[in-house]
Structures are given as structure tokens and as C-alpha cells.
Amino acid sequence: MKPADRIQISDLIAKYTLEPLIRDVYVEGDRDQSFFNWLIPKMGLPSDVSVLPIRAIDVPRHLVQSHAFTRTGEHEELITLALELNRSLASYPPHVTCVADAEFDHLLSRPRQATGLVYTDGSSLEAYAYRAEVVTKFLSLLAPFPFDANHVLQQIGPVLQERFLIRAANEQLGWEMSWLEKLGTAKVNKDSGTLEFDSAAFIHAYLQKNARFSEEQRFRKCLETLRTRVTHPTWASLCGHDYAAILAHFIRPFLPPGLRDFRSGAFCERSLMMCLEAADISREPMFAALRARLA
């Protein structure tokens, strides 16, 4: 969307001042918009709910930075919108809601609080697909598959949490390192259906790629500190992108030639989200909060 076509925050303030009962939901991206457009009717919520991605709103970089954000991505822009609406409106509209991915905010003790701002229960919407019933349905697309959903989750879960912590350490240190996409340090044993992840080798390659190898000791110290803070189940401490990528990596040795599409993490991510059941996820705390605001 061109900058000139984006909605100004001042226009939103005027809109909600005049029409405070409007039901608007703001989300981070286009996929999030599609997800909530699918889910909201299934939750039995009013039909006048409008879902918009943050790219539809003009949130200037300087405004994001004024809230002490060091980055200016969709996540930061969405939270900035919530903070600005709270700051500028004498009475916050009861139904206007900003739904942000929690990302690393809970682990790093830095979530911003504002009326109308709700966070996903896990790090992202994709984390809601980390459940046995979803993976069971996903694996049925690959039938026959030699292992059940619980076995698959047991194998990929520790790897996902370790990679999430590595990402979080980079975030905590503020190094802004480029992620290492290669999965060569994750090995699948086809006979036993096990997955081994060489965390040390991955960290070594990750730091070396970003010219930070000389600071490995500092990185590992930060990583171990973060490890002690993890109190949530695996599904709440994983990166959605990693989930799909590692799942695709795990199933790849078992795929017949006709199912090559499932070798793609992006394809697996879309398939997982299509396997979600609205009745199951709508009971989670974030969706309960959303229902309370939009009803």
C-alpha cells in the first residue's frame, strides 16, 4: 500500500471520538487479517467487525522510535498505534482492539500495556497450531505416516524451544544478527524417527556468519540466563517460522515423490493453519479477551 493511501492516526482519533462503538481490529500482517476474518464469524461475534493489517495505517518511524522501540517493523507499529490511541483519546473505544504477537516480549519482560492491546498466548498465531489434534490432521494429509502426532511433537519440541531461546538471546543483546536458515545441524534418523539438534554447532555457525564469534562466551551466558526464565509449555515458546521449517525438515525423509510440496516450510505453515479448529483455539485466553471486547 502506498504511503498516500494509508489511514492517518489523526483520522482514527476523529473517527473513534465521533463513533466510539465501532468494532475495529488491527493486526500485524495480511495473513493475520485472513486468519481473523475466518475466525471471528465462527466465534459468533457481530458481523460488523472490521479487521485491518497495520500496513493500512500510517505509523511514522519517528513515532515508533518515540516509544523507545529500536526496530520499526509491523509488531512495533501495531503496538505504537495502540499506545497513541490510548494517549490521544479521552475515552478509549470499548471495541477497538490491537492484536499483537507476543514474540519475545514476555520472556524478556518488556510487554507494553495499553487498553485494547492484547497479545497472543504464545509467541505468534502459528503457535496455536502446536497441538496434537492439529498435527494429527496435518499428518493425515501424508498418510500413511510412520509416527503419530505426539511422537512428532516430542521430537521437534525441544529443538523449537532451543532455537527460540537463541533468537531471544540475539534480541536481548540487541545484536540484530541475521538468522541462520540452514538446518544442517538438525539430523533426522529415519529408522527411529528421532531428531537431533546440535545447538553448539548451530550457535558457532550463527555467530560466525554475523562476525560475532569472538563474543561467543557472552552470547552463551545470555542464553543460559534466558533458559532459566522459561516457565511456559513448548507451544508458548517457539517461533512460528521455525515450527513450520523444522516440521518440514522432520517429515522430509518420509515423503513419497507425490508430496514434494510438504518439503517447503511455507507450505507446511499454511497447511497447519488450515488444520486449526475454531472451537479449540477460541477457548485460549487471548481469544477470550478478544471475545469480551468485540461482543
Round to whole Å and give the CA distance between 46 and 294: 7
Domain that holds residue 46: 3-119
- SS3 of residue 221 by DSSP: helix
DSSP secondary structure letter of residue 44: T
State whether 269 and 132 are in the same domain: yes
Round to whole Å and give the CA distance between 295 and 292: 6
Q: Decide if 175 is inside a domain.
A: yes
Round to whole Å and give the CA distance between 219 and 165: 11
Round to whole Å and give the CA distance between 73 and 56: 13
Q: Decide if 282 is inside a domain.
A: no
Q: Which amino acid belongs to residue 67?
A: H
Secondary element (H or E) of residue 30:
helix 30-42
Dihedral in degrees, nearest 10, Cα atoms 154, 155, 157, 162: 140
State whether 210 and 263 are in the same domain: yes
Q: Decide if 293 is inside a domain.
A: no
State whether 187 and 111 are in the same domain: no
Q: Is the dihedral of CA 17, 19, 21, 27 positive or negative?
A: negative
Best CA proximity match to 68, nearest among 55, 58, 53, 83: 83
State whether 243 and 111 are in the same domain: no
Residue at which a domain ends, from 65, 98, 119: 119
Indicate the number of domains in the chain: 2
State whether 155 and 264 are in the same domain: yes
- Above 90 in pLDDT, residue 19? yes
Residue at which a domain ends, from 119, 143, 159: 119
State whether 142 and 218 are in the same domain: yes
Banded pLDDT at 185 (limits 50, 70, 90): confident
- Above 70 in pLDDT, residue 35? yes
Mean pLDDT over the full length of the chain: 95
Q: Decide if 115 is inside a domain.
A: yes
pTM of the model: 0.93
Dump pLDDT digits (tens) for 129-169. Answer: 999 999 999 999 998 999 999 999 999 999 999 999 999 99
State whether 191 and 266 are in the same domain: yes
Dump pLDDT digits (tens) for 232-259. Answer: 788 888 999 999 999 999 999 999 989 9
State whether 239 and 167 are in the same domain: yes
Cell matching residue 224:
543460559
State whether 242 and 267 are in the same domain: yes
State whether 144 and 42 are in the same domain: no
- SS3 of residue 4 by DSSP: helix
State whether 184 and 158 are in the same domain: yes
Q: Decide if 292 is inside a domain.
A: no
Banded pLDDT at 210 (limits 50, 70, 90): very high
State whether 80 and 194 are in the same domain: no
